[in-house]
Amino acid sequence: MKKFTRSFLLAAGTMFPMAAHAAIDWGSVSGKDIVLFYPGQASWEWALTPSDMSGADDFRKGKNCDVCHIGEEKDMGPQIVTGKPRLFKTGEKPPIEPTPMPGKPGGFPATVKVANDGTNLYVHLEFNEGAQPDAKQDPAFATKVTVMFDNGKVPEANRGGCFAACHDDSAGMASGAGANRTMYLPRTHAKMTRQGGGDALKGADDLAKLKADGYQLEFWQASLNPGQPAKATAEIVFDKREVVSPNLVTAEAKQTGGVWSVTLSRPLQAAAPYSSIVAGGTYYIGFAIHSGHTARRFHYVSYERTLAIDSGTADLVAMKK
Ligand code: HEC
């Protein structure tokens, strides 16, 4: 019997290899509170239009989104999510959510921790998404946690985080008109207007040059259901959002007492199309969480944060553990 158990364990170990890396003791890592808020149809083009978003001129002059907005997210989400006119000291602004979901929370804070073990970068989030109505948009997964990683070579994302990839003509957005467009980066498109970039891309040579210059965002996602193993996906956002092969992203998650605890990881050194992540580099990350079986734009998002490896003055410093 003993012998049987032992050989069974060995066989099981081969079939289901254990995670190749040691677990990080997250209790020993200090966290940063980051509020995720519901953005409605606030697109890149919307945010760059002064009559729509009054910080647009200042943004164009060089003031980044986070400078004005970090600290305000907890008020933004709840008023956007209702789909009602939005109230500010300066007056009323029209709704930016045409299809509100009754009872949907406007946002929630996540405690974010990062670390590395010399081989992998780990990004850990703990959050309680609250009571979520079932949107029935993604029946397969209750919750999805996404990290948007910017290697520092996407000027729009360095300044505006995920909003750089979120356009007015993407699926479900104000100028989407039934299109199935995913996220994309502005410089890949031939012409950007208030409605977005449409389907006309730059020429092949220009696109190849952008690629060679590292102009892309990585999208690391953990798809979750309570009580089940997390499913990890790696994608890249360039002229569209596309799955990357091989998938170098792993994810682990559990939910205890309503609190999700989710860890995404990726090797620091990685061959193209991934960007290698090195000590001394300045990176930017943004977060998105789809709660209540939502898909596409119906998520919570964060403003961008800086990320450094081993040491530095970034918002999030992944120290060696
Ligand atoms: C100079 C400060 C400033 C900058 C920079 C700025 N904003 Fe704003 N933003 C505002 C103000 C003020 C409002 C309040 C609404 C208004 O008057 O338009 C606002 C409103 C918003 C709202 C709606 C909030 C709500 O509660 O309805 C969103 C979303 C938003 N901004 C996103 C962005 C994004 C994305 C960027 C960067 C691309 C950005 N903002 C840059 C000042 C700024």
Number of the ligand 1 atom closest to the C-alpha atom of 76: 26
Contact 140, 223 (CB under 8 A): yes
Number of the ligand 1 atom closest to the C-alpha atom of 58: 1
Residue 225, exposed/middle/buried by CB under 10 A (0-12, 13-18, 19+)? middle
Number of the ligand 1 atom closest to the C-alpha atom of 42: 29
Alpha carbon of 311 to ligand 1 centroid (Å): 31
Mean pLDDT of the chain: 94
Which amino acid appears at position 28 of this protein?
S
Count the Cβ atoms, other than its own, within 10 Å of residue 105: 20
pLDDT of residue 22: 61
In angstroms, what is the C-alpha Rg of the chain?
A: 20
Kindly give, in sequence order, each residue whose CB lies less than 8 Å from that of residue 308, ignoring residues fewer than 6 positions away. Answer: 279, 281, 282, 283, 314, 316, 317, 318
% of the chain with per-residue pLDDT over 90: 93
d(C-alpha 68, C-alpha 50), whole Å: 15
Q: Does residue 33 have a pLDDT over 70?
A: yes
Hey, what are 3's tokens? 């012998």
Alpha carbon of 54 to ligand 1 centroid (Å): 6
Tell me which residue has its CA closest to atom 17 in ligand 1. 54
pLDDT mean over 169-190: 97
Alpha carbon of 44 to ligand 1 centroid (Å): 11
Task: Choose one of 68, 74, 168 to mutate for the ligand 1 pocket test, by most ligand atoms within 8 angstroms of C-beta.
Answer: 68
Query: What does the chain come to in residues?
Result: 321
pLDDT of residue 1: 37
The two most distant CA atoms of the chain are separated, in Å, by: 76
Contact 153, 217 (CB under 8 A): no
d(C-alpha 283, C-alpha 153), whole Å: 9
Around ligand 1, the residues with Cβ closer than 6 Å are 39, 42, 47, 53-55, 58-59, 63, 65, 67-69, 76, 79-80, 86, 88, 90, 93, 160, 163
d(C-alpha 206, C-alpha 261), whole Å: 41
Q: How many CA atoms lie within 13 A of 189 on its CB side?
A: 20
For 243-268, b where at least 16 C-beta lie within 10 A, e where not — what string? ebeeebbbbbbebeeeebebbbbbbb
Name the nearest CA neighbour of 66 among 302, 297, 288, 318: 302
Tell me which residue has its CA closest to atom 21 in ligand 1. 53
In this predicted model, what pLDDT tens digit does every residue of 100-156 receive, in sequence order? 999 999 999 999 999 999 999 999 999 999 999 999 999 999 999 999 999 999 999
Name the nearest CA neighbour of 186 among 177, 174, 206, 172: 206
Alpha carbon of 164 to ligand 1 centroid (Å): 14
Q: Does residue 162 have a pLDDT over 50?
A: yes
Tell me which residue has its CA closest to atom 32 in ligand 1. 47
Tell me which residue has its CA closest to atom 23 in ligand 1. 76
In this predicted model, what pLDDT tens digit does every residue of 260-296 receive, in sequence order? 999 999 999 999 999 999 999 999 999 999 999 999 9
Alpha carbon of 69 to ligand 1 centroid (Å): 7
Task: Choose one of 36, 69, 75 to mutate for the ligand 1 pocket test, by most ligand atoms within 8 angstroms of C-beta.
Answer: 69
Q: Model confidence at 11, in pLDDT bands (50, 70, 90)?
A: very low
Number of the ligand 1 atom closest to the C-alpha atom of 63: 5
